[in-house]
Amino acid sequence: MIILILGGQGNLGTQLTKSLTGNYEVVSLDREDLDFLDFKVLISKVREIAPNIIINAAAYNAVDQCENKEEYELAMKLNAYFPGLLADIAVEQKAVLIHYSTDYVFSGTEDKTFFTEEDTPNPVNKYGESKFQGEQEILRRVESGLKYYLIRTSKLFGPRGSSPQAKPSFFDIMLDLVQNKKELTVVNEELSCFTYTPDLSLATRQLWELEKPYGVYHLVNQGPVTWYDAVKELFRLKKITAPIRAVRSENLLRAARRPKFSILKNTKVKKMRSWEEALQEYLRK
Ligand SMILES: NC(=O)c1ccc[n+]([C@@H]2O[C@H](COP(=O)([O-])OP(=O)(O)OC[C@H]3O[C@@H](n4cnc5c(N)ncnc54)[C@H](OP(=O)(O)O)[C@@H]3O)[C@@H](O)[C@H]2O)c1
C-alpha cells in the first residue's frame, strides 16, 4: 500500500512519517520538494506516485496573521482550495483522503462547551473560517464517491517537526520562557483538549487499519484544560516553582479572537489516553 503524506516535515507530518514508514510504502513531501499551491505540478506528482492513501498534514496555521486580508487569501488557498483539489485527485485515483481540521471551526458558550462530530461549525476567526471552508470542500465531493477521514483535532504538542521552520510546541515555549522570566503570564481560557502528535498519528492509522467508516472524527487526548492549568501541570511535573499569573484573553493584544470553549467530543472511536499521561511521556523522552 502506498501512502502519500503532504506536509511530512511539519510537526504532525513528521510523526506520521515516522509511524508509518516500515509498515507501508511512504512518500513524504514538504516545501523543499514542491510548492503544494502549484496545483499543476502537484496533480502530476500525485498521479505519478499513485497513492492508495493521501494524508494532508499541511496547513496555514498563523491564527493572528490570518486576520490580514492577503494572508487570509493565502490561508484559503492552502486550507480550503488545496484540500478540495486533493479530494478531486483522490476520487480520480480511487484513493482515501485523510485531512485534518481544527476545534477552531467551533466556538462555545457556557451553555455549550463541547462539540460532537455532528455539531454545526461557527468559527470566530479567519483561520477557523478557512479550515471550515476546507471541510466543506471535502464534504462536497462525498457524493462523487470520495473516500475520506476528516479529523478534527486541537492544541497539538509533541516533538518538533523535521522542517527547519517547524514551530516548537506550547510546552517547549513555556519551558524556554521560564528560564528568563520571574513570572509567566498565561491565558486562563480556551477550554479545549491537548493532543500529542504521536498519539494522533497512531489514532489516524487505526481508522483505516480497523476499517472505520468514512466520515468526520474528533481525535484528541482526554481531559479539557485551559492554557493556564496546562502550564500549572507542566511545572508540577518538572518541579518548577516560578509563579504563573492567569490572565484573560482581553489582556493580550492579539488580532484574532479565540473560542472560549471548543472541547472536541469523540463519540465514534476508542478514546485516546489523558493529556497528562501523554505529557509525562513527552517529557520523559
Ligand atoms: N498546531 C495545532 O495546534 C493544530 C490544532 C488543530 C488542528 N491542526 C491541524 O493539524 C494539521 C497539522 O498541523 P501542524 O501544526 O503539524 O502543521 P505544521 O507544523 O505547520 O506543518 C505543516 C507543513 O506543511 C508545509 N507546507 C505549508 N504550506 C506548504 C506549501 N504551500 N507547499 C509545501 N509545503 C507546505 C509546512 O512547511 P513550512 O513550515 O515551510 O510552511 C510544514 O512543514 C493542520 O491541518 C492543522 O490545521 C493543528
| Interval 33-81: pLDDT, tens | 999 999 999 999 999 999 999 999 999 999 999 999 999 999 999 999 9
> Residue 192's domain is classified under what CATH number?
3.40.50.720
Ligand 1: nearest atom to the Cα of 36: 32
Q: Is 42 in the pocket of ligand 1 (CB under 6 A)?
A: no
Q: Is 61 in the pocket of ligand 1 (CB under 6 A)?
A: yes
Total domains in the fold of the chain: 1
First to last CA, the chain: 31
What is the rounded distance in angstroms from the CA atom of residue 15 to the CA atom of residue 219?
Answer: 15
Q: Say how many Å lie between the CA of residue 78 and the centre of ligand 1.
A: 10
- Contact status, residue 9 vs residue 26, Cβ threshold 8 Å: no
What is the rounded distance in angstroms from the CA atom of residue 35 to the CA atom of residue 39?
Answer: 8
Residue type, 4: L
Global pTM exceeds 0.75? yes
pLDDT confidence tier of residue 251, bands split at 50, 70 and 90: confident
- Contact status, residue 51 vs residue 24, Cβ threshold 8 Å: no
- Percent of the chain at pLDDT > 90 equals 95
- Contact status, residue 146 vs residue 91, Cβ threshold 8 Å: yes
Residue type, 16: L
| Cell numbers standing for residue 125 | 476567526
pLDDT confidence tier of residue 261, bands split at 50, 70 and 90: very high
The predicted-structure confidence for 181-222, as pLDDT tens digits, reads as follows 889 999 999 999 999 999 999 999 999 999 999 999 999 999
Neighbouring residues of 249: CB distance < 8 A, sequence distance ≥ 6: 187, 189, 190, 257, 258, 260
From residue 67, how far is each of 165, 248, 262 by CA, in Å?
A: 21, 20, 20
What is the rounded distance in angstroms from the CA atom of residue 17 to the CA atom of residue 29?
Answer: 10
Domain that includes residue 68, residue range: 1-285
Ligand 1: nearest atom to the Cα of 131: 47
Q: Is 55 in the pocket of ligand 1 (CB under 6 A)?
A: no
What is the rounded distance in angstroms from the CA atom of residue 95 to the CA atom of residue 46?
Answer: 11
